[in-house]
Structure 1
């Protein structure tokens, strides 16, 4: 048996339970979880809002951002062995549908997200398909290694278009937005302008390389950006707040 944090019923809250250790398929990798991180998705599921009710079937072990140590591999696994330090894709793709065959596994037609549509990583162990595992540098601390999944989302979004030599505006400086600030700056943006209503987050954006930080409760963001870009405005806008307003 192992400990796991479970959404036990369609209501607010999680429950710490003892659950059977998951079975290992021939293409599976058994991982001892070393660290996890909390995503906004986990908060939706914890609070059991309309989104969670439409996506999650209980009972379910939650959590999808993690890193860990391989402790056992299935007989068809060739790229990993016990002792490897790894992180994982949260999206389990089939590798058989048309998008997967075209290299667009992130829009797999049969996708299952761990901690949402199948048991996740807020547990002592998790079993993942070999195709969804990534080897992690040994000198990367677990509390940082667990953030590779959300970092990957920000990399994908930020680099969907050209940012080099462009003026980039990032709205929303939560973890995903802050990652985007650092990525855009690293990839040669002419300037990075970060927008948020919390000074704490704007301070973090500055630490990560933002050239200008703007609080819409305190200034006219459009006017400030027009001034900073000689009237041209932002070339690239990354909306990372999720705020419908």
Structure 2
């Protein structure tokens, strides 16, 4: 089968499409014929083989990808609830289901977590093997390109619901697809005002089309900081979504969050750590909430509801639908030009 893989050649990372064997399935797994995949920031980190991914990925060649939709092609001998031909996607956080964290229904935070496309081979291939416990049945009204973005949309749903944005002034730091999904969910959730701080005019224009004010922080960085820092209340935004994982992003979030406000820490640092002005968080009484993955399975149910009832709001974030063999163009869009929203590859 054709697959997009990360490999090491004389110690140097390469990403290429190559022929790989169709995966064999365990008794509690299914084999899925992939119909569509979408490219995530995590995939871009693997593509760049960042320090965080160098520590995580140990087996080569490694198949990338975790956001997908497809059809069951074969089932393991222990499978009874699924059949060949079922239209499915999967939760990418493969939890153990046995630890105290899982028993508290915080499966996305399981300490024994394995990530699809990171800790095991992913979906950027014609076929993928997936454990039964993370399968979700797709609504047949959703075409594969839309069904493939349920997982990242679920991230935004989980994040916005945790933040309780209704009638609040919010800032989104970052302009990538995750930030755009967060923006549209905040619009649907009736935030009072939504501002996006980013670098890329193409993406900021998408934000404006879905009802979000945007500020290009390259062009207006000083004006932005002057406008919101130094106000008598010490900040302006009730909730700040930090989507970048950068030191400048988290510092900006702390500076412009109002006293007693909330910062949603969504972005992950490529270097695992950043400097944080700890005292300022304490003195402003800011609550910092980490966000990782989705609530399993409640978030998925809400994401499907949004796709069914607000499809016209969500769909503009998908700016490129490319054939699978144009995967390199997809990564170039996401990493180099960044003139894209969500990029989907069709099999």
Fold match (TM-score > 0.5): yes
2:144 alignment partner in structure 1: 142
Shift of 1:21: 2.0
The equivalences for 1:9-28 within 5 A come to 9=8, 11-28=12-29
1:3 alignment partner in structure 2: 2
Shift of 1:76: 2.8
Q: TM-score, normalised by structure 2?
A: 0.65
1:94 alignment partner in structure 2: 96
Contact 1:86 1:135 survives alignment (8 Å): yes
- 2:65 aligned with 1:63: yes
Which of 103, 106, 118 is 2:108 aligned to? 106
In 2, Cα distance between equivalents of 1:26 and 1:205: 45
- 2:214 aligned with 1:242: no
In 2, Cα distance between equivalents of 1:48 and 1:218: 31
Deviations 1:165-190 (A, max 9, x none): 11111111110000000111101111
Contact 1:24 1:127 survives alignment (8 Å): yes
2:218 alignment partner in structure 1: 217
In 2, Cα distance between equivalents of 1:3 and 1:15: 10
Shift of 1:164: 0.7
- 2:200 aligned with 1:198: yes
The equivalences for 1:156-235 within 5 A come to 156-210=158-212, 212-219=213-220, 220-224=223-227, 233-235=236-238
Contact 2:7 2:13 survives alignment (8 Å): no
Higher helix share: 2
Contact 1:7 1:58 survives alignment (8 Å): no
Shift of 1:224: 4.6
Runs of 4 or more consecutive aligned structure 1 residues displaced over 4 Å after TM superposition: 222-226
1:53 alignment partner in structure 2: 54
In 1, Cα distance between equivalents of 2:13 and 2:219: 35
- 2:120 aligned with 1:121: no
RMSD of the TM alignment (CA)?
2.0
Contact 1:167 1:189 survives alignment (8 Å): yes
Q: TM-score, normalised by structure 1?
A: 0.90
In 2, Cα distance between equivalents of 1:146 and 1:178: 16
Structure 1 residues 98 and 223: CA distance shift in structure 2, 3 A: same
Contact 1:68 1:86 survives alignment (8 Å): yes
2:34 alignment partner in structure 1: 33
Deviations 1:4-23 (A, max 9, x none): 22222253322333322222
In 2, Cα distance between equivalents of 1:231 and 1:242: 23
The DSSP-based 3-state class of the residue aligned with 1:206 is helix
The DSSP-based 3-state class of the residue aligned with 2:163 is coil
Q: Number of aligned pairs?
A: 240
In 2, Cα distance between equivalents of 1:77 and 1:66: 21
The DSSP-based 3-state class of the residue aligned with 2:19 is strand
Contact 1:11 1:47 survives alignment (8 Å): no
